[in-house]
Amino acid sequence: MTTATGELDPTSKNTAEKILNKGFVSKDSVVRKIWGNTDVILFIFAGAAAEFALNKAVDWLYFTGKLPKDPLARLFSTVVYAQRIIFSSAVDANAAIDQITMIHKNVENARASTIPDWAYRDVLFMLINYSIRSFEILERKLSHAEKDEVFNTFYRVGKRMGISGLPLNFSAWQLAHRRQLQEDLTYSRHSKDLFKQYKKHLGCPRYFLMRQIQALTVPASVNELLLLGSGKPIRPILRLYKLTQRFGLQKTIRNLILPRQYKERILALGNPPNR
């Protein structure tokens, strides 16, 4: 509405600003706590790296040649996009989602084929699953309502992207996720190559650490395909790492662990914009 002078009514202006500035995820949401915690994000990253390697649609990630050259950077970009969406206004988040959709459409056009919807769903399922698992390993158990928040956030991302066949609630997602793990994963030559590249880019000590984190984080079916083991060697280290949080030493230890070429970008995850 406008005033008699033709100016925008102050009340309407304030309402419009609130709509524009409304967050895609509310500021008090557990989703922001999850995706604003660098350590949790690193566990999400590790779990996704394992499952990405097994996905039957992983050949799409090989098409551009970017994944095998630097798989960690490629996976890191997925994490950065997810965080950007979570900490943006609804308007900016939708713009970021539309950009992701456009990038994938360009790849489809270049390959003259279509990425199946189940492959898109699998990525969303990974983000839901590892968000919950990673936070519960490092912090605390989530309530059912909090798990619903995580699901609903990525459900809205999928709806915006126009992905079909999305489960409508967390309980339905749990069933769909179990089916997805049974039907969409296999150990292939791409799996073998990706883990070879992980080792090359991380070096032996960090590669060992990544596999131990994956052993704790991934579902049993993923663990079986990758022969990750029980993760027992890292459990005492994890307990010690949690103790360092009380004394503010976790950042120092994290800095020693992180690969130099990714350190700056990874540490920036702990200070997302619009936090």
Total domains, the chain: 1
Residue 1 belongs to some domain of the structure: no
Residue 14 belongs to some domain of the structure: no
pLDDT by 10s per residue, the chain, length 275: 555 555 556 554 454 445 455 899 999 999 999 999 888 998 999 999 999 999 998 876 666 666 567 777 777 788 888 899 999 999 999 999 999 999 888 888 888 888 889 999 999 999 999 999 999 999 999 999 999 999 999 999 999 999 999 999 999 999 999 999 999 999 999 999 999 999 988 889 889 989 999 999 999 999 999 999 998 888 887 887 777 766 665 666 666 667 777 777 777 777 776 66
Residue 106 belongs to some domain of the structure: yes
Domain range spanning residue 66?
27-263
Residue 270 belongs to some domain of the structure: no
CA-to-CA dists, residue 81 to 98, 145, 183, angstroms: 11, 25, 27
Instruction: Identify the CA nearest to 180 among candidates 57, 41, 1.
Output: 57
Name the one residue in this structure whose structure tokens are 């967390």.
Answer: 170
